[in-house]
Amino acid sequence: DAEGLLRIKEENQKHYRRAQRHQEKKEKIQRHNRKLGDLVEKKTYDLKTQYEHLASLRRMHILELTSVIFPIEEVKTSTRDPADVSSESDNAMTSSTVSKLAEARRTTYLSGRWVCDDHNGDTSISITGPWITLPNNGDYSAYYNWVEEKKTTQGPDTEHNNPAYTISAALCYATQLVNTLSLILDVNLPKKLCNRQFCGENLSRHRFTRAVKKLNANILHLCFSQHVNLDLLHPLHTLRNLMYLVSPDTENLGR
């Protein structure tokens, strides 16, 4: 029993010394972890600072791009309210007729159905200049209507002020701007759309509407990535959504 007790004491001593070594190793690991934690915290702060600096650079490049090359702004139209014009020509017009004209002015026939549009006839959005605009309500039917009419009409085209040319140019510039913004912001676009999609050959109605939907999807994707206020966005308002995206008031632009 004495020999067994001595053997157990020796084993306990070995375990005690081993436990001391483990404790020292544990403390060493804890000190190392604290050191790594401080380093990670410092690196995280540096990374956050770099992200903020990168965001400010992106924001500066975007604002410079949209002020020098692709300015987007709201253009007031000179269209008078039909109710005012009609009331001037007919003083006996009833109030119900005036209200019906005002209501008709706020509706647009778009893709086979009537839709409400509060901005109809009031403003339009221009890109690269006040002469290149898109309808505020997203109705681009003038383009493919012109294409269909041109198929049946022979002879040279001398209509330089045709709205179809304006729509095509505006959509072409918008596509170039969106593709450039995706590179600056480092955001992959969900739809592939080349810069020359809306210029060159005349697109059929199906191809045109399909390309417009792709462009609108890419613009909305960029707006979502930059946390643009969702209440301001509309799926059909191409240039208006783009204008909200690159606005200096967008707090998270460049994130």
Instruction: Break the chain into its structural domains and give their ranges.
Output: 124-254
**198 band by pLDDT with thresholds 50, 70 and 90:** confident
In whole angstroms, what is the distance from residue 69 CA to residue 238 CA? Answer: 18
In this prediction, residues 130-158 reach a mean pLDDT of 75
Q: Do residues 47 and 105 touch, judged by C-beta distance below 8 A?
A: no
Question: What confidence tier does 134 reach under pLDDT thresholds 50, 70, 90?
Answer: confident
Report whether 181 contacts 62 (CB < 8 A).
yes
The arithmetic mean of pLDDT across residues 179-183, rounded, is 94
Q: What average pLDDT score do residues 77-92 get?
A: 48
| Angstrom distance (rounded) from CA 87 to CA 244 | 37
Q: pLDDT at position 111, please?
A: 47
Q: Report whether pLDDT(6) > 70.
A: yes
Contacts with 246 (C-beta within 8 Å, 6 or more apart), sequence order: 62, 63, 66, 72, 181, 253
pLDDT at 207 over 90: no
Mean pLDDT value across the chain: 81
Q: What is the pLDDT of residue 54?
A: 93
Task: Tell me the percentage of the chain whose pLDDT exceeds 90.
Answer: 44
**Between 137 and 39, the higher pLDDT residue:** 39
pLDDT, greater one: 149 or 50: 50
Strands (E), 92-214: 107-110, 113-116, 123-127, 133-135
Q: What is the pTM of this model?
A: 0.69
What is the pLDDT averaged over residues 24-52?
93
Return the amino acid letter for 19: A
